[in-house]
A and B are shown apart, each in its own frame.
Chain A
Amino acid sequence: MHRSPMHRVVRTAAVTLLATTGVAQAVTLEVTAWKGNDAEPAALPELIERFEAANPDITIDFSYISRSDTDIVLPPRLQGGDAPDVMMADMPLVNIWGNAGLLAPLDKGDWYERLDPAVKAAITGGDEVYIMPLEVIGMGNFVNMGLLREAGVEQAPRTIEELKGTCTALAEAGVNPMIFAGGFSAPLFTIANGLEPDPAAAAELGAEQRTFEDDEAFIAALSLFPELAEAGCFDPEVQAGVDPWSTALAEFKAGNFAMMPQGAWNIRDFSSVDGLDFVFAPIPSANGTGVALDLFGVGWVISSQSENAEAASTFVDFFTDEENLQALLEAESAYSPFVGGASGMAALAAPYDEARAAGASIQFPFGVLHWPKPLESEIFDSLTGYLLDLDQEPGEVLSRWDEIIEDQY
């Protein structure tokens, strides 16, 4: 059968149009995150379901990859041009992947203008923005109020003097006062107290413009360790070897210790323990409010190699909607990264909320890239060493931190 050239052109155009429309209707977006599993769901399964219902042309192929595995699994895929379309990332990853040109710049839409200034400053390096922040999560002091009441203390301590008094009362009542593991709890306490007098110093310390060794606030923070030990807060040598991610959590959950500086991501897990009457309070400090140590943790990034850039942007935009984000914040016990945004913090975190409202919040320097990632493990190590030998000079301990900063340049 003879067909005219016009017929062929029309047919080809129709097939092309249908094919294009067909592809657009069946986009499968590969998304990876270190939340969304059974242990830390972060409401992602429900949110993905909700997203797919709102966008029937996009299917999400979600994979859970733990944070430590993210370092191992994703770089080869990014380098090899086979990266997932959307990935959960934090600022250390954004710094490396973004500098290597492996992330797509995000549209600075309305969401960017609504960001909290501290978070906005952290994610804005140069002209481009590569990450859409999902949450700001608190790091404070978990306090077992049941045990405090046994010792006649009615309120979570907010100042150093209150902390010492609480420790002494608890010790006299035969209660272990505090988990102060060198691998996390002690560093949180030190960073909170070291930065409290001048939170802006974090950037200068990380940029080699000032040294920790000569920083009076950090020296004072370390000088508190022997005082707290003397007040009966902890046995420094025992705490030096406590694993903050297994033993410490298990001991607090079991009601064997009254206080523990840790992250709010544990609230959900601790709340599931029957009879564990606890609050999440700020880290005790020299001022009257304590310190709310805020961690800008995670966000979404889009691979620059993604062939589904538009669908990926739609997915990321979905989380800029406060209503959608709320489910994640509640599951995470976290705060919105947006000004005036909602909070997912439970009622038991009221003391922490109050400290934030009083302006006593400090950004955790690693989350906003003021301090390089390698410094983190050195802080853990050096404070463990300090707990083992409290006769060391604080300046000597802090000089190890300066050495790591020096190694970055």
Chain B
Amino acid sequence: MGNITMGKYRIFLFTVPALLVLGTFFLYPIGLSLRMSFTDFTGVGIANDVGWKNYERIFTRSRYLDALGVTLLFTLIVVTVQTAIGLFFAALLHRLPAVRNLCRAALFLPAMMSFVIVGYVWQFIYSPFDGGLNSLFAAIGLTSWQHNWIGDPDTALYALAFAHVWMFIGYSTAIFLAGYAAIPQELDEAARLEGTSGWQRFRHIEVPLLASSFTINIVLSTIGTLKTFELPFIMTRGGPDGATRTLSLHIIDSLFGKYRFGFASALSIIMLILVVAVTLLQNRVLRAREERVR
């Protein structure tokens, strides 16, 4: 009996290394950030307790709530568009096996470039003075379409979202292509014998059977986009007038421009709660959808 009990608990010993890594590199820093969020730490020296002051400032200053709105809108745009275009390319490449690998590599190429390069390239494309996009419109006679793309608060976030989607579309396509590979070919053949159209097969067979690919795509891109700061940092520095200032950018600015480590920690804790809440909710909804399909 004693041996059985020991054996039952012994298996938990195998989780100790993983728990140690998790505790040291994930839970401890989060605990430290939580502790720091109640101080006025400047990055060096002594941290003084300030109670809930940092949190009070976050919730009483509209600029932080605006940043939360910008972050959520940016995420919504990127996740929706990236998933839709990724699915489009995957459906297309699934039907074009001859060029599938070549196109998959081409779509992946932007993701292999550094954010800095992508940011500067798109900044020059969007430049109001002889930028690539405006020059293109001028060349084809559409001068009325010329615009200050990242200088106008109404278009800046969309312009950044487009660059972000361009960069990561290869990932979404690859995940959907993996999903396509798991769809039994007999189903497709049976549907064809029944005389279904391509659209009907896509709508009623492929989309439902790609449910797990949707889950992975949406969850991964949501987490990645909620945390994003690179392109807004490089292309607009959060401007014009905060139109592209995400929560992450506020955190970076507070840390390394304003030396407000305590305040930045409070913002980080709020962002952590946001990311966890959104991800849990998404997971719940998407898993339930997967179950329904099965």
Contact = CB atoms under 8 A, between A and B. Distances in A.
A101 B45 contact: yes
A97 B45 CA distance: 8
A104 to B, nearest CB: 15
B259 A373 contact: yes
Interface in A66-81: 68, 71-72, 75, 78-79
Contacts of B151: 237-238, 240-242
A272 interface: no
Given A238-B128, A241-B151, A92 B241 contact: no
B259 A240 contact: no
Contacts of B69: none
A246 B234 CA distance: 11
Interface string A371-409: 001100100111011001000000000000001000100
B156 A96 contact: no
Contacts of B43: 71, 75, 79, 96
A390 to B, nearest CB: 13
A100 B129 contact: no
Interface stretch (B161-169, B186-194, B250-258): B250-258
Nearest to B242: A381
Contacts of B120: 246
Contacts, number: 94
A182 interface: yes
Contacts of A374: 257-258, 260
B123 A382 contact: no
A102 B152 contact: no
Interface in B195-239: 236-239
Contact of B44 (A68, A78, A407): A78
A155 interface: no
Nearest to B150: A241
Contacts of A96: 42-45, 259
Nearest to B263: A407
Contact of B240 (A68, A99, A241, A247): A241
B86 to A, nearest CB: 30
A380 B240 CA distance: 9
B44 A246 contact: no
Interface residues of A, number: 36
B239 A182 contact: yes
B61 interface: yes
Q: Decide if the interface of chain A is mainly helix, strand, loop or mixed.
A: helix
A155 B151 CA distance: 32
A150 B42 CA distance: 52
A97 B43 CA distance: 9
B46 A100 contact: yes
A407 B57 contact: yes
Interface string A210-248: 000000000000000000000000000110111100110
Interface string A55-99: 000000000000010011001001100000000000010001101
A99 B120 CA distance: 38
A183 interface: yes
A91 B42 CA distance: 15
Contacts of A382: 241
A39 B128 CA distance: 26
A251 interface: yes
Interface string B156-189: 1000000000000000000000000000000000
Contacts of B240: 182, 240-241, 384-385, 388
Interface string B111-151: 00000000010010001110000000000000000001011
Contacts of A71: 43, 255-257, 259
B128 A388 contact: no
B43 to A, nearest CB: 4
Contacts of A407: 57, 61
A246 B236 CA distance: 11
Contacts of A79: 43-45
A377 B256 CA distance: 12
B148 A75 contact: no
Contacts of A100: 42, 44-46
Contacts of B237: 183, 243
A343 interface: no
A28 interface: no
A247 B57 CA distance: 35
Given A100-B45, A241-B239, A246 B123 contact: yes
A68 B129 contact: no
B28 to A, nearest CB: 17
A256 interface: yes
A407 to B, nearest CB: 6
Contacts of B253: 377
A126 to B, nearest CB: 16
A78 B44 CA distance: 8
Given A96-B259, A385-B241, A388-B241, A241 B156 contact: yes
Contacts of A243: 123, 237
A57 B127 CA distance: 53
Interface string B239-278: 1111000000000010111111000000000000000000
Contacts of A388: 152-153, 240-241
A240 B257 CA distance: 22
A302 to B, nearest CB: 16
A122 to B, nearest CB: 18
Give the 10 A-B residue pairs with the shortest CB-CB distance, closest first: A241-B151, A100-B45, A385-B241, A71-B256, A374-B258, A75-B43, A100-B44, A384-B241, A384-B240, A241-B148
21 contacts: A71-B256, A71-B259, A75-B43, A79-B43, A79-B45, A96-B259, A97-B44, A100-B44, A101-B45, A182-B241, A183-B237, A237-B148, A238-B148, A238-B151, A241-B152, A242-B151, A247-B127, A251-B129, A256-B129, A381-B242, A382-B241
Given A96-B42, A241-B152, A256-B129, 11 more contacts: A96-B43, A96-B44, A102-B45, A238-B148, A242-B128, A246-B120, A373-B257, A377-B257, A384-B240, A385-B240, A388-B241
